[in-house]
Amino acid sequence: QLQLVESGGGLVQPGGSLRLSCTASGFSLNDRAVGWFRQAPEKEREAVYCISKGRLYSNYARSVKGRFTISRDDAKNTVYLQMNDLKPEDTAVYYCAADWDQYAHDCTMETDSGRYIYWGQGTQVTVSS
């Protein structure tokens, strides 16, 4: 069974940190781009960060510049999203997604690109005092 599972969400105060994990089972993330997305209540899903296979390329949303970083551990078949200096506006359900195209050398921040076909169930991040 092909599956992506996110973990690491929770409740954190403004200025705090969380590290989200995205682990695949049934297939390898190592040869695919992976993206992190989020969706707040009554808002559209938006891309947060993405990373290509081999870590050759990454991209991020302007709103997370200098606060979030993405990394991948191929040995653990896992991609991480380190989130620092969290703000209330970061509150959302965070999803990871994997690219179908194993030959792509980049990653896309477009939520409707059609490239991300494997999605996790999401993990809630709430930033509140």
pLDDT at 97: 97
Q: Alpha-carbon torsion 99, 100, 104, 109, what sign? A: negative
Triad 45, 86, 71: Cα angle to 5°: 70
Question: What is residue 80's three-state secondary structure?
Answer: strand
The predicted-structure confidence for 96-127, as pLDDT tens digits, reads as follows 999 999 999 999 999 888 999 999 999 999 99
pLDDT per residue of the chain (129 residues) written in tens, 0 to 9? 889 999 999 999 999 999 999 999 999 999 999 999 999 999 999 999 999 998 889 999 999 999 999 999 999 999 999 999 999 999 999 999 999 999 999 999 998 889 999 999 999 999 999
pLDDT at 1: 81
